[in-house]
Amino acid sequence: MHNVKVGICQFKVEIDKQKGLTRIAKLISDLVNAGAQIVVLPEMFNCPYEQDLFSQYAEVEGQGETLQLLSDLAAKLQCYIVAGSIPEQDQDQIYNTAFVFNKAGSIIAKHRKVHLFDINIPGQIRFQESAVLTAGDQVTTFTTEYGRFGVVICYDLRFPEIFRLMVDQGVAGVFIPAAFNMTTGPAHWDTLLRARAIDNQLFVVAVSPARDNTAKYVAYGHSMVVSPWGEVIWEAGAEEASHVVVLENEQLKEARERLPVLRHRRHDLYNLSLVNKGS
């Protein structure tokens, strides 16, 4: 891995899709002007996180206005964009999908959320993604001149197996567009992010929408970057925030040398296999 500057966009999601896209374009441009080489957006950044709206805001790969805008921006600004996630329409199915654009504006990876968020905590929150969305079935990694990275979406964070599969593909960090809520966020957000970073000795970059108390689904916020040693490099609050963080190769190297966990794994016991090597 080489040092890389990552731009984080935590913002409130607009109901007016076009208004939201106009604002997102400016946020990305501002981050690149501040030095960002990879920009990361939140989960469902172009659509309110409401299962009844997913079909209304959904886009087909190669046709949607959101994807075209980000492709154009990546090429114009010469940056990579990890496009959080959007509702993706594929024939009669809808996926929660993160697209990754390279500096040419081409899609080099896409991750369809593998673990759908079906939860019912009486008196606190009930949500059922599977009522509208279809689950993905691939582990997603991609390669840049800065190194190899992985992508998961929100609830995928709770499943450590997917991170180990990405480690087997040589990733130095994982980007996590997410929208934890006001029940699960305060309880588990920072603990899970630090645990995934420590277990796998990699950078974790998790990006959430900003908190909007007027929304039906209230996101926790607190976008966060964690080092391979489990230290919080940067954390947002609940409000809107944009920031550029440097992921330093020396931090990755030092963590893996100080505590060689990955070299001490017992592959003879685990029988792990690679899934979807990606590009």
One digit per residue, the tens of pLDDT, for the chain of length 279 reads 999 999 999 999 999 999 999 999 999 999 999 999 999 999 999 999 998 899 999 999 988 999 999 999 999 999 999 999 999 999 999 999 999 999 999 999 999 999 998 777 677 666 688 889 999 999 999 999 999 999 999 999 999 999 999 999 999 999 999 999 999 999 999 999 999 999 999 999 999 999 999 999 999 999 999 999 999 999 999 999 999 999 999 999 999 999 999 999 887 776 655 455 555
- The tokens of 144 are what? 């840049």
Whole-structure pTM value: 0.93
Q: What is the pLDDT of residue 175?
A: 98
Q: What is the pLDDT of residue 118?
A: 75
Distance (Å) of CA 206 to CA 1, 7, 49, 102, 149: 19, 11, 17, 20, 13
Q: What is the rounded distance in angstroms from the CA atom of residue 156 to the CA atom of residue 152?
A: 6
Q: What is the rounded distance in angstroms from the CA atom of residue 203 to the CA atom of residue 197?
A: 6
Q: What is the pLDDT of residue 98?
A: 98
> Which residue do the tokens 């935590």 mark?
10
Q: What is the rounded distance in angstroms from the CA atom of residue 101 to the CA atom of residue 246?
A: 20
Distance (Å) of CA 243 to CA 17, 34, 171, 225: 23, 9, 23, 11
Q: What is the pLDDT of residue 278?
A: 52
What domains can you pick out in the chain, each with its CATH number? Answer: 4-270 (3.60.110.10)
> Which residue do the tokens 């469902």 mark?
44
Of 96, 17, 51, 50, the closest CA to residue 216 belongs to 50
Q: What is the pLDDT of residue 153?
A: 98
Give 232's strand partners.
Answer: 226
Q: What is the pLDDT of residue 101?
A: 98
Q: What angle do CA 196, 27, 12 make, to 5 degrees?
A: 70
Q: What is the rounded distance in angstroms from the CA atom of residue 98 to the CA atom of residue 153?
A: 8
Strands across the sheet containing 173-177? 140-144, 147-151, 173-177, 203-207, 224-226, 232-235
What does the DSSP assignment read for 141-164?
EEEETTEEEEE--GGGGG-HHHHH
Give the residue numbers annotated as catalytic, written as ranges: 43, 113, 154
